């Protein structure tokens, strides 16, 4: 597993836990630190996990609006917690992480969905992120 993939996976697990616990105030860094220690104790991610989680949450309103726009038949609260948080990372990377190529962001999100989600999670994430990507292309925002 590549370092960036491991970092994304731990970021997703941290977002999942934070979301599952009902967005506990003041516990975010504790959740991140625990997951880093639990899943990659000797891994130096150079702050990537914490930055990704915090950046996703800073843009959560815009990200959630984007997900709702491109998955209108699946309200966020009805999505599985895994799918919702994989999509949050994927949408964040597509719209706001200029250093990450769009196809990498989509492929990484699909792999996380397949690994941690249900049978249809990979297809669902692919469909939503593919639609976001196509919309970006039509607006001339290609990376």
pLDDT, one tens digit per residue, over 64-111 is 999 999 999 999 999 999 999 999 999 999 999 999 999 999 999 999
Cβ atoms of 31 and 17 closer than 8 Å? yes
- Where are the chain's structural domains? 3-138
* Architecture of the domain defined by 3-138: Orthogonal Bundle (1.10)
Is the backbone of residue 46 left (phi > 0), alpha (psi -120 to 50) or beta? Answer: left
Q: Answer whether 0.75 is exceeded by the pTM.
A: yes
């Amino acid at each position: 597993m590549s370092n960036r993939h491991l970092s994304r996976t731990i970021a997703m697990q941290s977002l999942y836990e934070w979301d599952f616990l009902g967005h506990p105030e003041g516990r975010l860094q504790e959740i991140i630190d625990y997951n880093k220690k639990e899943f990659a104790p000797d891994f130096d991610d150079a702050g990537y996990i914490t930055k990704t989680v915090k950046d996703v949450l800073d843009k959560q309103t815009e990200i959630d609006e984007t997900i709702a726009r491109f998955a209108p038949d699946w309200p966020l609260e009805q999505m599985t917690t895994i799918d919702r948080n994989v999509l949050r990372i994927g949408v964040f990377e597509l719209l706001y992480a200029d250093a990450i190529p769009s196809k990498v962001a989509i492929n990484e999100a699909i792999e996380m969905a397949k690994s941690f989600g249900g049978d249809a999670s990979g297809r669902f994430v692919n469909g939503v992120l593919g639609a976001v990507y196509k919309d970006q292309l039509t607006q001339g925002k290609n990376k």
